[in-house]
Structure 1
Amino acid sequence: MTAVQLPEFSTTPVEQIPSIVSRLRSSFFSQKTRPAAFRLRQLRKLYWAIADHEEELLEACKRDLGKGIFEAMVSEIEWVKNDICFMTQNLERWMKDEKPEDMAWTHKFVSPRIRKDPLGVVLVIGAFNFPINLAFGPMIGAIAAGNTVVLKPSEQCPNCAAMMQLIMEKALDPECYACVQGGIPETSALLEQNWDKIFFTGSVNTAKIVAQAAAKNLTPVALELGGKNPAIVTKKADVQLAARRLLWAKTMNAGQVCISQNYILVDKEVAPTLITELKAAMKEFFPSGAKQSPDYSRIVNLRAFNRIKKMLDSTSGKIVAGGTMDADQLFIEPTVIEVSDPKDPLIVEESFGPLIPVLPVDNLDQAISIANETHATPLGVYAFGSKAETDRVLAETRSGGASINDGFFHGVIPTLAFGGVGDSGTGAYRGKASFDCFTHRRSITKTPNWMEKLLAVRYPPFDGTSKLKQYRAMGILKPDFDRDGRQKIGLLWYLITLGSGSASKGALRAALIAGIYLALRALMEGRIWKGLKG
């Protein structure tokens, strides 16, 4: 069988970066990327370039992260192809102007609308754990929104980075889109440039550097980070299902997933059962062991391997399943650790690897308290239990997203807006949110000449209160609530809804008929007409 040939990774010379950005800015101001037809053609060509190089992309994922075919196809290649199809099928509709919500009647004459404008020249910085998805995904949104784009893939996955550059150069207009390769020096040089938006996926520490650099030019940023995401399993949960689903979430990409749970808080009554079920699920998923499985990924590099190993070495918890490591193969077995201290390093630090700490708790109150104290704004929260219990978890915690009775299912729906909150990130993308992320909603009005007499109210002199009265009559909203904050209910609405709730349909109908009768009688007697005239 012929070995798959991949292009070599080549760092972009730092001195070329300013000219690359300048070229893309000139292209943006030439209006080249504005028409829908141009954007659609670029996206469609990108789709087929990805499809034509699936074999090479699979090989690149395998070399960089040890990803199996299924995982690489589902979470990387098919994902971005799906993104492109969704964008192209909806783009022209999203680009249309929007009308604002309810407004004063006089404002309708100036035809207010919201135009969808591209931001300009944007920088997308990808991450290593899903090197294709987390680079091409935001870039697809930026292209759809009409921007020119510089893509900076993760240098930690050089094979994937080289393939993405090859695909971009084959499919996309080089005057509008460019791929810059490299590490810290090249990224620093990119951050010195003036951008219209920066989209970054990665660690909190690096995000702070990106945000500080962006602040110098008041550049808006979207930050997709991570977090010490808690999973909570109550004694009312289906413990077997919880074990299977949480193990799936923690073994995908060898745990190198920003939204997988960092630890499990489990009711102490069912903690032994959860551990037993985690072991059973491990045997089911990897019958010959994770090391021999073609479906289990490897750690990205030795530095990340050593960091995870150091965390495991520092815990005071007890390893109850797994624990095997091989530095030469960058292999870390899925490892379940029973811990007793909420301050254990495996709880308070983000492992970003296949470590599964299990902390027994007394009750749901304690679980929620620990989750909030450990990280107030994680990227995800995963609650397993009764509806009342999971509702409590949603109500009493914060997170970028949440999955109930599952591990990060909300994060695998490609058209569902995805993003963090607080120190787990800012901004959202995926589906329409990707288009919105790189779009400026530009409010526009057009005032006709004939409105001048109406608009004269705004010109001084204001003649005491006469113009103010005229201005108020032109559409100032009046409160529908009293001074105690209670909403006012009109007589007709009261009569229509009288008896609703526990009353029968017959009683509600009778109340409605009575209300209509009273209104008609008042009209015939002239009371309403006299009131209108007055």
Structure 2
Amino acid sequence: MDALPPFTATSVHEIPTIHRRVTTNFLDHTTRTIAYRQKQLRALYWGLKDAEPALLEACKLDLGKSAYETYMTEVGWVLNDIVFMDKNLARFMKDEKAEDIDLTNSFMKPHIRKEPLGAVLIIGAYNFPIQLSLGPLVGAIAAGCTAVLKPSENAPNAARAMQHVIRNCLDADSYQIVQGAIPETTALLDCKWDKIFYTGNANVGTIIAKKAAETLTPITLELGGRNPAIISKNADARLAARRLLWAKLMNAGQVCVSQNHILVEKEILPALIEQMKLALAEFHPKGAENNSDYGRIVNERQWQRLKDMLDSTEGKVVIGGKTDRATLFFEPTVVEVHDPGDPLLKDESFGPLIPILPVDSLNEAIRTANSLHATPLGLYAFGSKAETEKILSETRSGGASVNDGFYHASIPTLAFGGVGDSGSGSYRGKASFDCFTHRRSVVTTPWWMERLLAIRYPPYTDAKLKQLKMLTAAKPHFGRQGGSTGGLAWWVLGLGGSDKTGAATRST
């Protein structure tokens, strides 16, 4: 492929023009046909395929990310997503027959049309700069939207590579890319969009939500979270150690869905730490600093933030602790803490810090998890079937994996999203299509029903009201005391005033 242009911020004066361009093209209905959508998806696929070497190199430059990890979690992921979407697009676009429609209303043929929302803004993140930018874009294209993508300025090489692909492969009247930081993002948010999709931290997510509220613009927010892992005394310590380390070593811990802290019953704590040491020795036999597959922190500011967190903890470092500002290296570091108020538990590390808090019981672990963050992005439960079911039943999270680290988030066709302050909305697989689609309810009233519809027209009379009730009133399947009744026959026999137990209900 041609040499990539240097990373240059888009002029803020150009942004309103870019917005008008994609908005105008949407209103010209260009993007509505399946042929157009598939043409764009297929062009994007081959553009990414041709640019694969540049994309792999870009992520190495930005994050120290290995080619293996970049292909697995970024390039290959998006390529497969495009193939999945292209293959299923006709099915996703097809009208749906409305469900639970009574006989009278069924004559109007109620159904759901799948309508594109319009011109959308997608703001990507730096930790998975390709997947978290182009994944939503694939959904927007498939749904028939036009879009402007604003990649993260913290991964400038990936942003340049994506700019090359988008400008050379996609219809410029429908799909544009804007480069820059706060001024450019602010200018984009000053425009009126039909949907905003943002991936990043909660502080910026709050700003975007407030700005979107000014124009009643719908948003999808994919935010971070202080995600807990809970390990019961009956868990397999080796399995928990290996799987949680896999989740935390990915991208040097710069993964919004990896566990932020581990709550472990005291009985199994020594075994867990020992198994973590063994697993790290296996994963990095020459040490993480000498393993080219282990990534680096994205920039010095983020490295310093992690270093400050490590320096501020009252906990004890039991594994790791090595750092190097010059190379932005940060070793996987396990810290045993004893205070739920420790900075490593209160704040999201977004790095390879692994605080472990011993607890006396599973109930204490659940209470602590809920108090630290009531609605994390992910939750990871290790233990017996009964114990993991208890954990799931008594906590909330955007998603969860049982006896594993964020495996639910690694399935590309499984809907992914947060809840509460870890986000709103979901995407991936069919959910990406749905994310940028309006489900439009449509009915067609036939001319021959005019006589049957006479009861809806004034003047209203007692006779019309009686007829209306006869046609529309649903009979409850429960009595006055809340017990179940026997259905229609129950009412025909005059037993509707009694509960299932047979006890007559009193009138009030």
Q: TM-score, normalised by structure 2?
A: 0.95
1:486 corresponds to 2:488: no
Q: Conserved in 1, the CA contact under 8 Å of 2:240 and 2:382?
A: yes
> Deviations for 1:211-262, whole angstroms, at most 9, x for unmatched residues?
1111111101100001100000111000100000000000100000000000
Partner residue, 1:257: 255
Structure 1 110/241 Cα, relative in aligned 2: closer, same or farther at 3 Å? same
AA aligned opposite 1:340: H
Query: Are the counterparts in 2 of residues 14 and 186 from structure 1 also a CA contact under 8 Å?
Result: yes
Q: Which amino acid aligns with 1:487?
A: S
SS in 2 for 1:434: helix
Secondary structure of the structure 2 residue equivalent to 1:144? helix
Please, what is the CA RMSD of the aligned residues? Answer: 1.4
Aligned match of 2:469:
472
Are the equivalent residues in 1 in contact too, given 2:323–2:330 (CA < 8 A)?
yes
Q: CA deviation at 1:491?
A: 10
| Residues 1:297 and 2:295 aligned together | yes
The counterpart of 2:448, out of the listed 447, 450, 460, is 450
Q: Which residue of 2 aligns with 1:512?
A: none
Distance 1:418 1:173 in 2: 28
Deviation at 1:473, TM superposition (A): 2.9
Is the alpha carbon distance of 1:94 and 1:196 closer, same or farther for their aligned partners in structure 2, counting shifts above 3 Å? same
Alignment of 1:220-259 (within 5 A): 220-259=218-257
AA aligned to 2:94 is K
Q: 1:49 Cα deviation (Å)? A: 0.6
Whole-angstrom distance in 1 between the partners of 2:369 and 2:209: 27
366, 377, 380: which one pairs with 2:378? 380
Partner of 1:79: 77
User: 1:81-138 CA deviation, whole Å, 9 max, x = no partner?
Assistant: 1110110111111111111111221111111111110011000000000000000000
Matched, 1:116 2:111: no
Shift of 1:287: 0.6
> Equivalent residue for 1:425?
423
* Aligned twin of 1:43: 41
In structure 2, how many angstroms separate the alpha carbons of the residues matched to 1:41 and 1:476?
50
Instruction: Please give the secondary structure, in 1, of the residue aligned with 2:285.
Output: coil
Q: Does 1:322 align with 2:320?
A: yes
Native 8 Å contact 2:4 2:164 kept in 1? no
Equivalent of 1:21 in 19, 27, 30? 19
Amino acid at match of 2:433: F
Q: Is the 8 A contact 1:104 1:474 kept in 2?
A: no
Deviation at 1:8, TM superposition (A): 1.6
Query: Share of identical aligned residues, percent?
Result: 61
Distance 2:181 2:403 in 1: 39
Secondary structure, aligned partner of 1:489: coil
- Count of residues in correspondence between the two structures: 490
Distance 1:435 1:483 in 2: 44
Are the equivalent residues in 2 in contact too, given 1:104–1:475 (CA < 8 A)? no
- Which whole-Å CA distance do the structure 1 matches of 2:146 and 2:473 have between them? 42
CA distance in 1, matches of 2:283, 2:5: 34
Deviations 1:294-324 (A, max 9, x none): 1100000000000000000000000011100
Larger radius of gyration: 1
Q: How does 1:187-206 map to 2 (within 5 A)?
A: 187-206=185-204
* TM-aligned CA deviation for residue 171 of structure 1: 1.1
CA contact (8 A) 1:32 1:38 kept: yes
Matched position secondary structure for 1:260: coil
CA shift for structure 1 position 483:
1.8
How big is each residue's C-alpha offset from its partner over 1:35-80, in whole Å with a ceiling of 9 and x where there is no partner? Answer: 0110011001100110111111000010000001111000000100
Separation (CA, whole Å) in 2 of partners of 1:385 and 1:492: 49
Contact 1:228/1:347 (<8 A) preserved: yes
Separation in structure 2 between the aligned mates of residue 4 and residue 335 of structure 1, nearest angstrom: 41
Task: Name the SS of the counterpart of 1:469 in structure 2.
Answer: helix
> SS state of the match for residue 116, structure 1?
strand
Cα offsets for 1:267-295 (capped at 9, x unmatched): 10110111111111111101111111111
Is the 8 Å Cα contact of residues 5 and 56 (structure 1) preserved in structure 2?
no
Listed one character per residue, the Cα deviations across residues 148-170 of structure 1 (whole Å, up to 9, x for unaligned) are: 00000000000000000100011
Secondary structure of 2:196's counterpart equals strand
CA shift for structure 1 position 492: 9.7
Counterpart residue type for residue 89 of structure 2:
L
Secondary structure, aligned partner of 2:427: coil
Paired with 1:342 and 1:4, the residues of 2 have a C-alpha distance of 53
- After TM superposition, give the deviation of residue 489 of structure 1 in Å: 3.3
Please give the per-residue CA displacement for 1:193-222, whole angstroms capped at 9, x wherever unaligned: 000000000000001111111111110110
Secondary structure of the 1:15 match is coil
Q: How does 1:145-184 map to 2 (within 5 A)?
A: 145-184=143-182
The answer to whether the 8 Å contact 2:477/2:487 transfers is no
Counterpart among 389, 398, 401 of residue 399 in structure 2: 401
C-alpha distance in 1 between matches for 2:321 and 2:423 = 31
- Quick one: which amino acid aligns to residue 80 of structure 2? N
- Superposed displacement of residue 395, structure 1: 0.3
Scaled by the length of structure 1, what TM-score is found? 0.90
Q: Deviations over 1:375-421 (max 9, x none)?
A: 00000010000011000000000000000000000000000000000
Tell me if the contact between 1:106 and 1:475 (Cα under 8 Å) persists in the aligned partners. Answer: no
Deviation at 1:4? 10
CA distance in 2, matches of 1:484, 1:492: 19
